[in-house]
Structure 1
């Protein structure tokens, strides 16, 4: 696992503006943002964007990742297909904190058609500001990781 402060961000066409707002916010918190787009509003396929961000996290190039689509669900599913990724979709801050603290999630997914910008920024901040607690949770995360093998 990497200890760098790089974070990958990606989205589909439905979440470009929200992704850019989230990117600016996490950058203001001291993260080096690797925003891999897209930048044009033409319809695009969320699986390729979720997988691309997940590969940056799984490779260790980025410590964490945030992906966005209309609901957050599809791009989260795509990200979770990459070995080593634990991505959760969150619509409020409590879950964003818990997926880091208890599940050692390395990616967050947000639905641009589900939450507004203010809440999305709070969710992203809760995610990047929380560390994994370890302890009894490490055993459970190990069990999740074993399912990939």
Structure 2
């Protein structure tokens, strides 16, 4: 799977650790930065990564910033993006299984690297239940319908 990754200065170390694990699992990582811990503006990195997903150039995204919410707010502005913040494995499982999220956002100032890795592993290995349970497909379809009414295509 091709995975877009992005971060700000607060998330560089965790992003690098996650990227190494993803590569060890056979995934291709497209890294949109930041590449160090120098202060930077989150949109400069998350927007191009989310755009790559919206254009179909990547299949999923994992974004790491201080809290996670900044990345989710930026990514969710683009059509076809379903970004969720998860700070524990159960929430990551729910974000995939119930909501078919295609972007995981993590807060490096909120959780440490050991827990972040468990969150990523949960999210990456969970399938969407909407393929077998109609209620999840119906709920996600309603979100897509809302987006189609209000979000302009690229």
Tell me which interval the TM-score lies in, with the shorter structure as reference length: over 0.9
Are positions 1:28 and 2:24 aligned together? yes
Are positions 1:129 and 2:125 aligned together? yes
TM-score of the two chains, using structure 1 as the length reference:
0.93
- Provide the C-alpha distance between the structure 2 equivalents of 1:125 and 1:35, rounded to a whole number of angstroms: 18
Are positions 1:40 and 2:22 aligned together? no
Kindly provide the CA deviation profile for residues 112-135 of structure 1, in whole angstroms up to 9, marking residues without a partner as x.
000100110110111111111112
Which stretch shows the higher mean deviation, 52-61 or 108-117? Answer: 52-61
- Provide the C-alpha distance between the structure 1 equivalents of 2:48 and 2:29, rounded to a whole number of angstroms: 14
Kindly provide the CA deviation profile for residues 40-59 of structure 1, in whole angstroms up to 9, marking residues without a partner as x.
32211112322221111111
- How many residues were matched structurally? 145
Counterpart contact for 1:73–1:89, Cα < 8 Å: yes
Counterparts of 1:1-149 in structure 2 under 5 Å? 5-134=1-130, 135-148=134-147, 149=149
**3-state secondary structure, aligned to 2:129:** coil
Unaligned stretches of 5+ in structure 2?
A: 150-154
How far apart are 1:30 and its partner, in Å?
2.1
Higher RCO structure (Cα 8 Å, ≥6 apart): 1
Please identify the structure whose Cα radius of gyration is greater.
Answer: 2
- Provide the C-alpha distance between the structure 2 equivalents of 1:73 and 1:136, rounded to a whole number of angstroms: 27
- Provide the C-alpha distance between the structure 1 equivalents of 2:129 and 2:56, rounded to a whole number of angstroms: 20
Unaligned stretches of 5+ in structure 1?
A: none
TM-score of the two chains, using structure 2 as the length reference:
0.90
- Provide the C-alpha distance between the structure 2 equivalents of 1:53 and 1:21, rounded to a whole number of angstroms: 18
